[in-house]
Structure 1
């Protein structure tokens, strides 16, 4: 049985950035930029310490839509703008809203905030095949 999606539907997805997430992601992605794994380099760079790789945050945003549509293989296109770095110990809440359903394609806008209410990702647009 196929699910029907409607413009205006909303969804939420929560991910926690544990203190080891930047290291795990570095190993998986090959992104060993020291701002992601060395607190002193992060401080010297003006970031206040280690920050999570942006592509990990992007992956979580895409995951939010994939979970909503029920299949990561349906994701077709992604556009995103990062607002603020994610830090270890942050809890990120992704809020999504279906903006259109047309010709077998669902388009959703996704934003994300940390536990302090700060935007870490704004205006992400994710398209998924649904037909």
Structure 2
């Protein structure tokens, strides 16, 4: 039975960036930029150490909507703005809200904060078919 999704519905998704996540993601994506795998390179770049690839954070935002709608194959469009790097040991909370439903499509706005309450992703717009 399909769930009745309406504008205004909200959802939450939590993901942890464990210490190995940037290395795992480098292997999966091919993004071996040293700022993601070498703490000294991250420090030299002024980042304080290793940071997670932005596309992994994006993937988790998309995952939040995919879980909400029940099928990752329904995602159709994504627009995102990163506002702060994610570092190992961060726990991200993705908060989403359905902003519109029209023509068989859902539009959701998603943001994410780390455990310190700092925004790491703002105003992501993700569309999915219903």
TM-score interval (norm. to shorter):
over 0.9
Q: State the alpha-carbon separation in 2 of the partners of residues 59 and 67 from structure 1.
A: 12
Q: State the alpha-carbon separation in 1 of the partners of residues 84 and 118 from structure 2.
A: 8
Q: State the alpha-carbon separation in 2 of the partners of residues 61 and 25 from structure 1.
A: 15
Q: How many residues align?
A: 130
Post-superposition Cα deviations, 1:20-69, rounded to whole Å, max 9, x if no partner, equal 00000000000000000000000000000000000000000000000000
Q: Which runs of 4+ in 1 moved over 4 A?
A: none
Q: Which ranges of structure 2 fall in alignment gaps of 5 or more residues?
A: none
- Secondary structure of the residue that 2:22 maps to in structure 1? helix
RMSD: 0.4
- TM-score normalized with structure 1 length: 0.98
Aligned to 2:21: 21
Aligned to 2:47: 47
- TM-score normalized with structure 2 length: 0.99
Aligned to 1:4: 4
Equivalent runs, 1:83-102 vs 2, <5 Å: 83-102=83-102
Q: State the alpha-carbon separation in 1 of the partners of residues 19 and 29 from structure 2.
A: 17
Q: State the alpha-carbon separation in 2 of the partners of residues 3 and 91 from structure 1.
A: 28
